[in-house]
Amino acid sequence: MRAYADNEYPANHKPDWKVIAGLWPYLTEFRGRVMLALGFLIFSKLATVATPVALKYIVDYLDENQGGEVLLWIPVILVVAYGLLRFGSTLFSELRDAVFARVAERAMRRVSLRVFEHLHNRELSFHLDRKTGGLARDIERGTNGISFLLRFTLFNIVPTLLEILMVAGILFVVFNVGYVLAILVAVVVYVVFSIKVTEWRTKYVREANARDNQSNSRAVDSLLNYETVKYFNNERFEAELYDKDLDDWEQARLKNRLSLAALNSGQALIIGVAMIVIMAMAVQEV
């Protein structure tokens, strides 16, 4: 795969989904920990989905026995179960993160070492033309990105699909297939919208990273050559150049923030419309 410079990404450059597949070796190094973390994840999602169900039984029991004889131990047990489920959801999530921490940290270590060895194997011309500050930022973002992808793939995509299936099953059993269809349509629209907008805003993310590299390179290279700057009395000139790079970085970050706001707003709109549809269906049945 070709490596592009910060300022030469093609406009139609698409995300490389093979990167996700490249995470597999980092997961297989600690199979036991990964499986245990997935187990905690499943327990966490089961507790999350069961929490509102427990609340339902509490409200239903008290409503059905309103004005009549209420067996105190039944609502007490239900309330305790509700509290334990809420606690269990958080507990299993924390246990999941604690178990998976070794996997993520080892992956960051492996990637950092591979990048370090790769840089030492590059040709002399690469190092003569290098920008130390930008290169350091790329290494930092790359290693942190691996940890993010590992957690996102396992703990966002997988649990979200699992939770959707469990909620859809509950709605199908308790209510009817209309609620399931409404959720599935909303999920499909949400996913398609998120993918399309994320691909659109990737250029702003790359631009922000490139401007960050540029400003950081300017600062590091200027400080590394402190004696030369002082010899020519060029402090003001270096500061003006650095401020210009910071201005470019500021504008790029602003575009990135605004595009992220558009993504979040669109996602919130889809969720809001789906909630309106589902609640309207419930109100109609009541």
What integer pLDDT is reported at residue 4 of this predicted model?
42
What integer pLDDT is reported at residue 185 of this predicted model?
93
| Closest-CA residue to 104 (of 148, 57, 161) | 148
- Judge whether residue 132 has pLDDT over 70: no
User: What's the pLDDT tens digit per position in 17-35?
Assistant: 666 666 777 777 788 888 8
- Strand (E) or helix (H) holding 236: helix 235-285
- Judge whether residue 192 has pLDDT over 90: yes
The runs of H, that is alpha helices, within 65-157 are 73-120, 124-128, 132-152
Structure tokens at 141: 């973002």
Sign of the Cα pseudo-torsion (237, 243, 248, 249, in order): positive
Q: How confident is the model at residue 5 (pLDDT cuts 50, 70, 90)?
A: very low
Cα–Cα distance, 262 to 251 (Å, whole number): 17
Structure tokens at 80: 């305790």
Label residue 67 left, alpha or beta by phi (over 0 means left) and psi (-120 to 50 means alpha).
Answer: left
- C-beta atoms surrounding 26 within 10 Å: 20
Which residue type occupies 148?
A: F
Cα–Cα distance, 191 to 49 (Å, whole number): 21
User: What's the pLDDT tens digit per position in 109-128?
Assistant: 887 888 888 877 888 777 66
Task: Name the CATH superfamily housing domain 1-162.
Answer: ABC transporter type 1, transmembrane domain (1.20.1560.10)
- C-beta atoms surrounding 18 within 10 Å: 8
Kindly give, in sequence order, each residue whose CB lies less than 8 Å from that of residue 77, ignoring residues fewer than 6 positions away. none
What integer pLDDT is reported at residue 268 of this predicted model?
93
User: What's the pLDDT tens digit per position in 232-255?
Assistant: 888 888 888 889 988 998 999 999
* Mean pLDDT within 171-179: 84
Which residue type occupies 206?
A: R
The label of the residue with tokens 């909630």 reads 275
| Closest-CA residue to 19 (of 118, 126, 116, 152) | 152
- C-beta atoms surrounding 14 within 10 Å: 8
What integer pLDDT is reported at residue 6 of this predicted model?
45
What integer pLDDT is reported at residue 238 of this predicted model?
87
User: What's the pLDDT tens digit per position in 62-71?
Assistant: 777 765 566 6
Structure tokens at 235: 């402090």
* Mean pLDDT within 160-172: 82
Domain ranges (residues) in the chain:
1-162, 175-286
| Contact between 53 and 170 (Cβ < 8 Å) | yes
CA distances from 271 to 38, 58, 151, 242 (A): 27, 27, 24, 43
